[in-house]
Chains A and B, each alone.
Chain A
């Protein structure tokens, strides 16, 4: 594998300009302009009706929920929602497009002028527009024939278009991940890239640093993973820089990402030179929104990942922990559950984000597979806080709980992990340790009092880490001073 993430040395003289178009599938039950169920995994052409198949005489009906989800996403992205937006037809012939046009929004989109802050980068990407449209069907290719399934045809999409504000592969990656988080937090889209819920088409140009004018763009389609997006952008930028250095003219080209060969395949110029002949959709009057509806949706927005991140960092969480919680709704849910069950942020962060996460990472498991329910981890934390467990014993207990799925108190008893604070047992153990380590005792008496830590360690060892550290220390000091 070549070193694909770094640009050639001389490329530091060039600047990469990236704009991103994202198509996010909206989480509705039915399609954008008909009432067929959204179920792309159903047997082919079973979730279709005269409307989405484009039979003669049919007319579209706009899905209320899709409009609401679009507004929700727009508000979360800081867009101005247009009180009047309009529908348009975009024409091209393709076997997965039954009407010969796609219903979309063109001149007046649902929303405009938003922005998205990239986490940890001190950078905002401006969003040019967000509009609603319908998806196309699916094509299955073989050498002998192409097969068409229209189950996906008409599924609602929000297209979110940035200004050309992105300057690196890392920024593009951060934008996409943050956008996905936002859409998921809103419940607007499942936004799973691999399942095609979240599709990205970047356009890339390069220019010598210091130059104002934008270069000629390359566009990439068919990118179906974050990795493919990164590689595709990298490759397109690299090629353009190479051509500029060789003094070649760059021709505006649309590429298809070849997932198998992991490279860009230019589409034929004819396919690129589209003339979409947009015009207002005569079958749908303009979409007129009420301020009050927009206000209502605004009031219902949940805390967004960026705000959550800020709140958590403000509340004594490390940036890294805050990022985990902001990025992974499951972890955040578990974390919040621990807090609700009485754990402090510090405790929850230690036992969930460090210890439990460590155990799962070691086992290559996800949180969904974690056998310890929230209330049991909370009770482990409580046992520790109440002095029923030592820290090492608590770690051992957690590992056992993760193995067996049993409750904290039950398993603590079963494994005999409860703290030892019994005076007699502690005294016996301490006496043995003192007897076995005369040298250490001598040094203690000569004033090296920190040797007590070493002796305490020996006690712990003998009691399998369960000794009450405070009581054991006191016992040792008492016996040592007696033996003086």
Chain B
């Protein structure tokens, strides 16, 4: 595996002139060459452009600093986030031939911060999946164990960072799509409060849930990328109108910090080793660990999937072959639509569009979609109650470590249930982070998930940074 230092370490090395951007890109290129044939983390690579930009930065002597905190840092972008003049496939046949005409706000901000865009990473088609097996470009394998999945849907972003194919990556998280692959690959995945990071240019899957997330080696790296991409954006009307809080990352945990472990999550775990791995670091720490009940999390997958599928059925209606992407022409328009879409979308996307359409259709909307909205509000209220007792909530990121390829693909409901711990924070619009537990299970990483009240992103990162050191 890669010997590449973390983003924050590299930034320091670059600043001190002990490393060059060109050298980082060269190392990344070597890692890609060695791992990509097996891992399949990238859909598109821009190595030559990355090299050219690195050379330019080196020649001009641009180093990471106030203006350009990410100068010379190679970053991978999940291929459902638009980069101008590059294809944006969403790992779907329906977008064949499509080239984005603009930069997503997060990409624009990364570029302005001096980051080098290495390539676009593989994902479950339109970010729908938990294993990265639903890709028109083939599955992603876990660099730590090629028999296992890298997680999903941001499997490519996680795998690329894990094997050193990028220093950091952007993923997206709708119900766990950044946190879960980060956990499976032994990385940090941070989902900001809904509204903290602009979604402009993130191809919509479920608009009320989607967030762009950093996937990095350390919490400090995640905080650095987050502080570049976060903040209000006039192009996204759902971004929170004020600037994010300042952060102060220290190694010490504040004495007496109250952490609640979510009873239902631990009760339902089949593998006690996962629960031990998640809880152990806290036992010796100076935190007050208490049990907190959030009973509604048990049905979070039902609530999450209904909302997400309904919104997906709406968001994916635009892929009709009229203006861009795939078109399979038939004599009539309606047939052209149905054949284009029927052949352009893979099984999982088709399944979700169908169920989502059903959940919104006349006669069913109240029993399904509206019921899920009421569930969502009630779940958020339960979280609010819980946060009256504790500062942070604790759970595993996923019920198991990375599972094997093919293990769940034939059983959609089983696959959905692997989001059971990540879906609640997404539904309640809360910030949540997955960090690797110090202990492994069967040699595989396990994710610790910490959740904070809404807009407490900075506090959550500060705490996670300290926990990472335990």
Query: Is there a direct interface between A and B, measured as CB atoms under 8 Å apart in the complex?
Result: yes
Q: What distance in Å separates the Cβ of B409 from its nearest Cβ neighbour in chain A?
A: 26
Complex interface: chain B residues within 8 A of A148 (CB): 322
Q: What distance in Å separates the Cβ of B82 from its nearest Cβ neighbour in chain A?
A: 5
Q: Say whether B314 contacts A57, CB under 8 Å.
A: no
Within 8 A of A (CB), among B183-216: 199-204, 206-208
Q: Say whether B365 contacts A277, CB under 8 Å.
A: yes
- Binary contact track B311-336/A, C-beta < 8 Å → 1, others 0: 10110111010111000000001100
In the assembled complex, B234 has its CB within 8 A of some CB on chain A: yes
Closest residue on chain A to residue B358 by CB atoms: A277
Q: Say whether B318 contacts A282, CB under 8 Å.
A: no
Q: Say whether B324 contacts A93, CB under 8 Å.
A: no
A55 to B99, CA, bound (A): 10
In the assembled complex, A62 has its CB within 8 A of some CB on chain B: yes
Q: Say whether A57 contacts B88, CB under 8 Å.
A: yes
Q: Which has the most chain B C-beta neighbours within 10 Å: A56, A95, A99, A279?
A: A56
In the assembled complex, A54 has its CB within 8 A of some CB on chain B: yes
Within 8 A of B (CB), among A97-129: 98-101
Q: Say whether B365 contacts A285, CB under 8 Å.
A: no
In the assembled complex, B417 has its CB within 8 A of some CB on chain A: no
Complex interface: chain B residues within 8 A of A279 (CB): 310-311, 314, 360, 365, 369
In the assembled complex, B76 has its CB within 8 A of some CB on chain A: no
Within 8 A of B (CB), among A284-307: 284-285
Q: Say whether B369 contacts A98, CB under 8 Å.
A: no
Q: Which of B88, B200, B357 contacts A277 (CB 8 A)?
A: B357
Q: Which of A54, A55, A62, A277 contacts B360 (CB 8 A)?
A: A277
A460 to B362, CA, bound (A): 83
Complex interface: chain B residues within 8 A of A100 (CB): 314, 316-318, 320
Q: A56-B82, A57-B82, A57-B88 are in contact. Are A285 and B322 (CB under 8 A)?
A: no
Q: What distance in Å separates the Cβ of A219 from its nearest Cβ neighbour in chain B?
A: 18
Complex interface: chain A residues within 8 A of B318 (CB): 54, 56, 98-100
Q: Say whether A285 contacts B238, CB under 8 Å.
A: yes
Q: Say whether B237 contacts A62, CB under 8 Å.
A: yes
Complex interface: chain A residues within 8 A of B2 (CB): none
Complex interface: chain B residues within 8 A of A277 (CB): 313-314, 357, 360-362, 365
Closest residue on chain B to residue A150 by CB atoms: B323
- Binary contact track A255-299/B, C-beta < 8 Å → 1, others 0: 000000000000000000001010100111100000000000000
Complex interface: chain A residues within 8 A of B101 (CB): 50, 55
Q: Say whether A98 contacts B323, CB under 8 Å.
A: yes
Q: Which of B102, B208, B237, B317 contacts A93 (CB 8 A)?
A: B317
In the assembled complex, B98 has its CB within 8 A of some CB on chain A: yes
Q: Which has the most chain B C-beta neighbours within 10 Å: A148, A275, A284?
A: A275
List the count of A-B residue pairs having beta carbons below 8 Å apart.
94
Query: What's the interface size class on B, roughly?
Result: 35 or more
Q: Say whether B238 contacts A282, CB under 8 Å.
A: yes
A466 to B360, CA, bound (A): 82
In the assembled complex, A89 has its CB within 8 A of some CB on chain B: yes
In the assembled complex, B100 has its CB within 8 A of some CB on chain A: yes
In the assembled complex, B337 has its CB within 8 A of some CB on chain A: yes
Complex interface: chain B residues within 8 A of A284 (CB): 237-238
Q: What distance in Å separates the Cβ of B206 from its nearest Cβ neighbour in chain A?
A: 8
A328 to B235, CA, bound (A): 42
Q: A50-B101, A282-B238 are in contact. Are A98 and B322 (CB under 8 A)?
A: yes
Q: Say whether A57 contacts B237, CB under 8 Å.
A: no
In the assembled complex, B236 has its CB within 8 A of some CB on chain A: yes
A100 to B323, CA, bound (A): 12
Within 8 A of A (CB), among B90-117: 90, 95, 98, 100-102, 104
Closest residue on chain B to residue A273 by CB atoms: B362
Q: A279-B369, A282-B207 are in contact. Are A61 and B234 (CB under 8 A)?
A: yes
Q: Say whether A57 contacts B100, CB under 8 Å.
A: yes
Q: What distance in Å separates the Cβ of B332 from its nearest Cβ neighbour in chain A?
A: 11
In the assembled complex, B81 has its CB within 8 A of some CB on chain A: yes
Q: Say whether B360 contacts A56, CB under 8 Å.
A: no
Q: A56-B82, A277-B361 are in contact. Are A99 and B317 (CB under 8 A)?
A: yes
Q: What distance in Å separates the Cβ of B121 from its nearest Cβ neighbour in chain A?
A: 16
In the assembled complex, A337 has its CB within 8 A of some CB on chain B: no
In the assembled complex, A406 has its CB within 8 A of some CB on chain B: no
Q: What distance in Å separates the Cβ of A62 from its nearest Cβ neighbour in chain B?
A: 7
A62 to B313, CA, bound (A): 23
Q: Say whether A55 contacts B365, CB under 8 Å.
A: no
In the assembled complex, A339 has its CB within 8 A of some CB on chain B: no
Q: Which of A56, A62, A95, A99 contacts B203 (CB 8 A)?
A: A56
Closest residue on chain A to residue B92 by CB atoms: A56
Q: Say whether B237 contacts A285, CB under 8 Å.
A: yes
Complex interface: chain B residues within 8 A of A55 (CB): 100-101, 323-324
- Binary contact track A57-88/B, C-beta < 8 Å → 1, others 0: 11111100000000000000000000000000
In the assembled complex, A53 has its CB within 8 A of some CB on chain B: yes
A99 to B237, CA, bound (A): 18
- Binary contact track A134-154/B, C-beta < 8 Å → 1, others 0: 000000000000101000000
Complex interface: chain B residues within 8 A of A62 (CB): 237
Q: Say whether B365 contacts A57, CB under 8 Å.
A: no
A436 to B322, CA, bound (A): 91
Complex interface: chain B residues within 8 A of A57 (CB): 81-82, 88, 100, 104, 200-204
Complex interface: chain B residues within 8 A of A101 (CB): 314, 317
A95 to B329, CA, bound (A): 14
Complex interface: chain B residues within 8 A of A60 (CB): 237
A148 to B311, CA, bound (A): 26
Closest residue on chain A to residue B334 by CB atoms: A93
Complex interface: chain B residues within 8 A of A61 (CB): 234-235, 237
In the assembled complex, A177 has its CB within 8 A of some CB on chain B: no
In the assembled complex, A473 has its CB within 8 A of some CB on chain B: no
In the assembled complex, A357 has its CB within 8 A of some CB on chain B: no
A61 to B323, CA, bound (A): 22
Q: Say whether A89 contacts B314, CB under 8 Å.
A: yes
A60 to B238, CA, bound (A): 10
12 contacts between A and B (CB under 8 A): A56-B100, A58-B200, A59-B237, A61-B237, A91-B317, A93-B334, A95-B320, A100-B318, A277-B314, A279-B310, A279-B311, A282-B238
- Assuming A55-B324, A99-B317, A283-B204, what are 7 further A-B pairs, CB within 8 angstroms? A56-B82, A59-B235, A59-B237, A91-B317, A277-B362, A283-B237, A285-B238
Residues of B in contact with A (beta carbons under 8 Å apart): 81-82, 88, 90, 95, 98, 100-102, 104, 199-204, 206-208, 234-238, 310-311, 313-314, 316-318, 320, 322-324, 333-334, 337, 357, 360-362, 365, 369
